[in-house]
Chain A
Amino acid sequence: KAGVTQTPRYLIKTRGQQVTLSCSPISGHRSVSWYQQTPGQGLQFLFEYFSETQRNKGNFPGRFSGRQFSNSRSEMNVSTLELGDSALYLCASSSNLGSYNEQFFGPGTRLTVL
């Protein structure tokens, strides 16, 4: 079974631009979550989608948005990029919602904002 895939793996943007990251979950998984990882703040939860609906949202500004398609693939968008948005963005999928479902992570997209 293929794992979680994320594209692109690396991205360089300039301040003010917008970016879209993509995540394909493990086949059969319906939940996709996004996380931001920075040296200063560690791993922070962005949002979770299940069956095309956002079920949970972390404490990030409205510049961060996402969506999930009917095939469970998910995209994350960051508008008006700031230097502080430079981070590793990780996507994770799980078969269902619930605290008992482990999440499997993709390799991440490393975003650099210049």
Chain B
Amino acid sequence: AQKITQTQPGMFVQEKEAVTLDCTYDTSDQSYGLFWYKQPSSGEMIFLIYQGSYDEQNATEGRYSLNFQKARKSANLVISASQLGDSAMYFCAMRGNDYKLSFGAGTTVTVRA
């Protein structure tokens, strides 16, 4: 079974600054995928970025980058140049060999003007 840990329940960030959201995971699978999702107050889960366990380079999607440290089982999300529209709940998730997507508890990000 996989376990995803997000230790930051809530964070405040100033507009235009960068913010790092922590995520650690625990799995015995050799092959797995790591995902980050954004959930605005409307409830819809929006896919942000993906990192495969065998990918050597950190994933990047626009202002989102994933800082993947496999040995530490860490997959932190970095949001650069924060915007007011980035205010939302962010979930780290992992899918292993059982194909189940396991989520962390989430981190609420509030961007201040």
Interface SS majority for chain A: strand
Other A-B pairs, 18, CB within 8 Å; known A101-B95, A103-B101 = A33-B101, A35-B101, A42-B103, A42-B105, A43-B103, A56-B99, A97-B99, A99-B29, A99-B53, A99-B97, A100-B50, A102-B50, A103-B47, A104-B47, A105-B44, A106-B44, A107-B42, A108-B43
Is A32 located at the chain interface by the 8 A CB criterion? Answer: no
Q: How large is the interface on A (under 10, 10 to 19, 20 to 34, 35 or more residues)?
A: 20 to 34
Interface SS majority for chain B: loop
The CA of A88 and the CA of B106, in the complex, are separated in Å by 15
Q: How large is the interface on B (under 10, 10 to 19, 20 to 34, 35 or more residues)?
A: 20 to 34
Looking at the complex, which one of B37, B43, B95, B106 makes contact with A99 (CB distance below 8 Å)? B95
Asked whether A45 lies within 8 Å of B45 as measured between CB atoms, the reply is: no
| Minimum Cβ distance to chain B for residue A10 (Å) | 11
As a 0/1 sequence over residues 79 to 105 of chain A, the CB contacts with chain B under 8 angstroms (1 = contact) are 000000000101010000111111111
